[in-house]
Structures are given as structure tokens and as C-alpha cells.
Chains A and B, each alone.
Chain A
Amino acid sequence: MLLHPGIIGLVIGSGLTLLLLFSAAGLGIQILGKWDITSNSELQLGLERKTYLVSTLVQYALLFQVISAFLFIYTADDMHNLLVGAMCATGSLNANPYGFPALCAQIATLFLAAAWISLNRIDNQAEDYPLTRKKYGLLFLILPAVSAGYVLQLKYFSSIDPDIITSCCGVLFSEGGPGLGSSLSSLPIRRMEAAFGLLYLLVLVSGLPAARSGSRPFTLLLSASSALFFFGAIASVISFISLYFYQLPSHHCPFDILQAGYYYVGYPLYAALFSGCFFGVMTGAVEPFRKIPSLAAVIPAAQRKWALAATVAITLFVILSMVPIVFTPFTLEGY
């Protein structure tokens, strides 16, 4: 089972991501132990130079992780031919209990690595590098996520058994079935649509003022509303957005839109959602660092930029998901 080319690619690709992040963390320990920004010693100079290596390692790791996440979904998708009962990635991921946790760990790594890079960007703009300790602390938070992702992924691929019948999106996201997927699918569509609209409104009323002024209550509100929007949006994709893309009143799969048959629309859709929610959450997350004197000017500027990015990306997501609702004759009236 492990000899599928996609799986070999993943084992190499995410293996290297793991390796990079572990080296980064190793360097992080060295740096944390002896860091003294006021010193002019050659040791401190050496450590400062090592910070460049750490940030390079994490940046490359994020790049690899993006490719790996894509490959993971696609490999799962490609494997549905091998599995009885699977018709797309949902079926393959559902083939054993490691599939979905592995996917979640991949996404968590993606977010954490991106957060680290943003924090690093901010820190590098202040002459005294005030966030050094927090940054390397965060690095140790990334490690368990990426390790778990790797182990789960290996477990997932090694324990796939073509003879066990798996249930695919038709079952997992069917209305009235047990489990989270089904409960999301059977949410009342009208109310879900309203909630989706309301969440988007919340993002707008917090995001636009935050982008304009970067002032406190709005950044925190944007953070909270983006986080809510993330889960709300995923629930909405399963509940009603997917239905319009497939033009089928009962097909709730969040993965099929990644396939060529739907013009790969899932990629821009999820890219906009992920980046929008990421920047939204970051806007409020850096709020406590504002009181650090050397960051007093840096943070609000970054917050305004992020708030704008979040609002634009989330709006793009909403527009993309509205396209089939507005432009296709398909309607959910009567279902």
C-alpha cells in the first residue's frame, strides 16, 4: 500500500517539513538559552545569524506544507479507485480512523507555521527583537502538530485496507445519519444561510473599521468573528454551498469541488477562506504586543494591513460561493 507514487511523494515531502521544523526548534533552544540582545559578543552575533536560518527553515517548511496538503487531499482523492465504496477523498479519508485527524493536523500545521512567520516579520521590525522568546515558544507548539500530522499520515496510509468497505460522502454527509458530518448536512438550510450571512456581516463591521483605524475593540472583534466565520463557512460549505456547486439537492461533499469536473473551484475557494480567516485571527492575536514600546508603531500598521487582507479574502470567498447560487438556475426551493 505504501508504494503508491503520491504516498512516496508525501512521505518524502512532509518528512522533510518535519526535519526542517525539528532543526528550527533545535536552533531555537540554542538561541533561547544564550540570547542577550544587549551584548556585542561574537556569540550573540552568531545567534543573531542563526535566527536567519530558523526563519528560512520555517518559511520553506510552510512552502512544503502547502504542497503536501495539496498532495494529501489529491492522493486521498486518487485512492478512491482502490477502495470499495469510495467515490472521492471523503471515502478514502474515511477508510480508517486516521484519515480525518491527519487532515486536521495538516491544516493546523499550516496555520501555525504561517502565524510564526507573521510574528517573525513583526519582530524583525523592532531593533530589540522583543518577541524572540514568544516566537521560539510558538515554535515548540508547532512541533507536536507537525509530528502528529506525520505520524497520523503514516498510520493512515499503512492501515488502508482495500477490502474494507468505506462510506463516502453520500453516507458521511447524508441528512439524518449519525455523526458530525450528517448533523452539518441536515442543518436547516434557510437558517444556515442566514447564519452565514450574519457571520459575514460581523466580519465586515469589524474588519472595515479595523482596516481603517486599527483600533482595539475592532481588531479583537475581527479576530473572534473570523474564527467563527471559519467554522461557520465550513459548515455552510457542507450544508448548502456545495449543493449549488453540484446542483444536486442532497450531495453535501466538501471535497468533490476540488475535482476537475467542478473546474477546481475548491482551490481558490478554500485558499480565500483559509488566508482570510488566518489574517483575521492574527489581527487580534497580536493585540497584547502593542504595549511593547518598540512595537508600538509596528503593530497597528500590521493590524490595519491584515484586517484589510482578511476582509478582502473573506469577501472573495463569499463572492465565489455565491456565484453558482446567483448564476445557475438550480434552486433549493422546495427541498
Chain B
Amino acid sequence: MSLMKHINILDYTLLSLLRRKFRNSGIVLVFSFVICITGSVLLLTYAFKREAVLVLGNVPELIVQKMSAGRHELIPVSFSEKIREIPGVSSVEPRYWGYYFDSFTKANYTVVTPGGRLSEGNKLLQGRLPAADERGVAAIGGGIARTRFLGIDDDLALFSPDGRLRNFRVIGIFQAPSELLTFDLIVISERDLKELFSLPSGVATDLVVGVRNETEAPVVARKIRERIPDSRPILRKEIIRTYDALFSWRSGLILTLFAGALAAFVILAWDKATGLSADERREIGILKALGWETSDILEMKFWEGVAISLTSFFLGIIAAYAHIFFFDAALFAPALKGWSVVYPRFHLIPFIDPYQIATLLSLTVIPYIAATIIPSWKAAVTDPDEVVRG
């Protein structure tokens, strides 16, 4: 185990690489691009997953909706009583919320009532939330504030279904760790919401069921279905799984489509490595004649691969990081963000972990290194005698 020798060979390799700056920077450029694209897909997927976890962290363990003709319908508040009787249920609360399509900005807003989990993780940038029975005021998400140029004390105008215009004075603007969560949010009091959407009395959008022991939730869900056959209980865990599978599947799909580009790159790498120039062949011959051994040359080639892949890897991953977190995934947001309607601006929380690095390594660097093994070996077994005989 002689360490010095390996350091020396590494030193020589770097010297040797610098001599062929032009040729090597070409391959680094292409490789970085490949890594940047692949890395962007991965970073975006995991950023979404994290957003989802943050969003769903606020989702109650169990929600009950009413179904009619296979579609989600308003649920009678009276159902609460039947549910409360089930053992293990600690609370049942009606929830009022809805989507509002704004024809000015062509965006969908989510309208909710204050209270409960809403105030927990989300900081208000300015102002405060409306009180439970306060009329004519609203707190809004940063996205709405930006697109409609609203500040504190400005009026937010919304149409109710009968075409009447209603004005809400803005008293708060949201700032959340994840903008996805509050971006399109409008918070108004319960009575305002019922009026805005013309909700009949005695019904709610859905019911939030509190369960004493979370592991009991599936059992409670089953019992609710038995007692109220037209209800649909939704478990938080189920939502998380659906989202998770969806994100993995989507990014997997993109990566598979991208495999073509990856294959093209590997072929390029192969081609570059096999096309050993006369110059390089001569250099290796000289080294061997001067007492370098075949395995020393192989080691040099290994370092060469490491230097090129690491440089490209870092360049690529920095570019991917900037692409996703500073430039808002401009290149392929449409493909991945399909489920959300319109997000004029969209910032993800920077997030990266060793798993993503390892995945990215096996998707990009491993194929590259594998493609260069045989060419490196061919170069390394160059006969030293060739150089002497000219």
C-alpha cells in the first residue's frame, strides 16, 4: 500500500489533461449537460416530494367526503353525529373551502376559512389572519398579491356565482416555507365563504375526523364506510403514497425518455476514448519505455476518468441546482407540474441528499466509466518497443 505512487500518478494525469485542454473541455461540456438534465429531473422530483410532505403535513389524518354519482359532493353536517359515535374518534369538524377561478389572471385560487392547522406552519409576511366571524376581510397568498398587485388594505374583488361583485379588504399576506402551500390561498371567514360560494346551510365541503391513535385510522375509515355507504374516507397516508408514486413515476418516465440522450453520450465517450490520437499513443509508449507499467497507465486512465467525470459532475449538478431552485425548473416544469393549474411564479425549497447523488452517479458516471474501460486498456497495452523503433 504505497500511497505516494498513486498521488504522483494523479499529479501526472492532471498535468497531462491540462495539455489537451481543448479536447477535454469538449467532453466535459457535453457530459456536464447530460448530468445537468438528469440531475434536474432528480432534484425536481425530490423537491416536489418534499413540498408534498410539507403540504400533506398539514392535511388531517382522516377526511370524509360525500360521493354522489361518483363525484365529490357537499356533505351534510349532520353526518358528524354518526361519525362521532364510532369508538376511537376524538373529534369531527366540518370544513368549508372551494376553488375560485379568476378570469383576470386565468388562475385558480383556493379559498379556505381561518383556524385549525392553517396558522401553524405558515408565517404571515404582513398583517394578520381574519378572525372566525370577521366580515369583508381576507388574507391572501403571495402569488395572488403579486399577480393582482395587491398590498395591505387594498381591495380584493371576487364574483359570487350569481354574478354579484364582493370586495374584501386585504389584511394579511402569506409567507410560507413552501410557497406551493399558500401561493394561491385566500382566507376569509366562514360566513363570507358560504356567501361567496352560495353554499346551502347545513352542508360543508368535507368533514375532518380526529383519531386518537393514528394506527387506528384505517379501522375508523372502514367503519365510517359501513355506517354511511355514500361517504368516501381519505387517509393521509394514502394521499402521501399516491403523490409519492406519481412523482417517482413521472420522473422515471422523463429519465427513460432521456435514456436515449444518455446512450448517445456514452457512444460519444466511447468514440472519444477509442479514437486514441497518434500523439497520445506516442506519449503512452514513451511512458512505458521509461519504466511505467501497464497498470500504472491503467491507473492514469482511471484518474483521467475520475477527473473528467467529477469536474462534469460538479458543473452539472451546480447547473441543475441553479436551474431548479433559482430558475424555477424553466426547462421542464410543464411536464412535471401538470397537476397544478397555473403558478405564475414558483419557488422550490433547495434540497439535496446523498441518495440523489448516488442515483445520479449510477445514471451518468458509471455508464461513462464503463464505456472507457476497454479503450483505456487498449491504450495501456501499447508496446513500448513501438516508440523506440519509431
Contact = CB atoms under 8 A, between A and B. Distances in A.
A180 interface: no
A3 interface: yes
Given A49-B381, A52-B295, A5 B41 contact: yes
Interface string A1-25: 0111111111011001001100000
A82 interface: yes
Contacts of B369: 60
A12 B240 contact: no
A81 interface: yes
Contacts of A264: 354
Highest count of chain A CB atoms <10 Å: which of B240, B294, B366, B369: B366
B241 A52 contact: no
B377 A52 contact: yes
B298 interface: yes
A78 B240 CA distance: 13
Given A5-B251, A6-B355, A13 B241 contact: no
Interface in B341-388: 353-355, 358-363, 366-367, 369-370, 373-374, 376-377, 380-381
Nearest to B53: A81
A264 B358 CA distance: 15
Interface stretch (B19-27, B155-163, B184-192, B252-260): B252-260
Contacts of A3: 248-249, 251-253, 255-256
Contacts of A70: 358
A260 interface: yes
Given A52-B377, A81-B244, A260-B353, A13 B366 contact: yes
B367 A12 contact: yes
A53 B255 contact: no
A84 B361 CA distance: 29
B161 to A, nearest CB: 39
B256 A8 contact: yes
B362 A20 contact: no
A81 B241 contact: yes
Interface in B233-278: 237, 240-241, 244-245, 248-249, 251-253, 255-256
Contacts of B252: 2-5, 7-8
Given A5-B41, A52-B294, A82 B244 contact: yes
Interface string A303-323: 001000000000000000000
Interface in A40-94: 49, 52-53, 55-57, 60, 64, 67-68, 70-71, 74-75, 77-78, 81-82, 84
Contacts of B69: none
A16 B363 contact: no
B42 interface: yes
A5 B359 contact: yes
A13 B298 CA distance: 22
B45 interface: yes
A269 to B, nearest CB: 16
Contacts of A6: 355, 359
B245 A82 contact: yes
A71 B362 CA distance: 9
A130 interface: no
Q: For the complex, would chain A's binding face be called helix, strand, loop or mixed by DSSP majority?
A: helix
Given A10-B362, A71-B358, A82 B241 contact: yes
Contacts of A82: 241, 244-245, 248
Contacts of A67: 358, 361-362, 366
B4 interface: no
A12 B362 contact: yes
B1 interface: yes
A210 B374 CA distance: 40
Given A3-B248, A5-B255, A67-B361, A57 B373 contact: yes
Contacts of B294: 49, 52
Highest count of chain A CB atoms <10 Å: which of B237, B244, B367: B244
Contacts of B373: 20, 53, 56-57, 60
Contacts of A75: 355
A84 B355 contact: no
A129 to B, nearest CB: 14
Contacts of B253: 3
Contacts of A10: 362
Contacts of B295: 52, 55
A249 interface: no
A162 interface: yes
Nearest to A83: B241
Contacts of B41: 5
17 contacts: A3-B249, A3-B256, A4-B248, A5-B251, A5-B359, A6-B359, A8-B363, A12-B362, A16-B366, A49-B381, A52-B298, A55-B295, A71-B362, A81-B240, A81-B244, A82-B244, A260-B353
Give 5 nearest A-B pairs by CB, closest first.
Answer: A3-B252, A13-B362, A9-B362, A9-B359, A49-B381
Interface of B: 1, 41-42, 45, 237, 240-241, 244-245, 248-249, 251-253, 255-256, 294-295, 298, 353-355, 358-363, 366-367, 369-370, 373-374, 376-377, 380-381
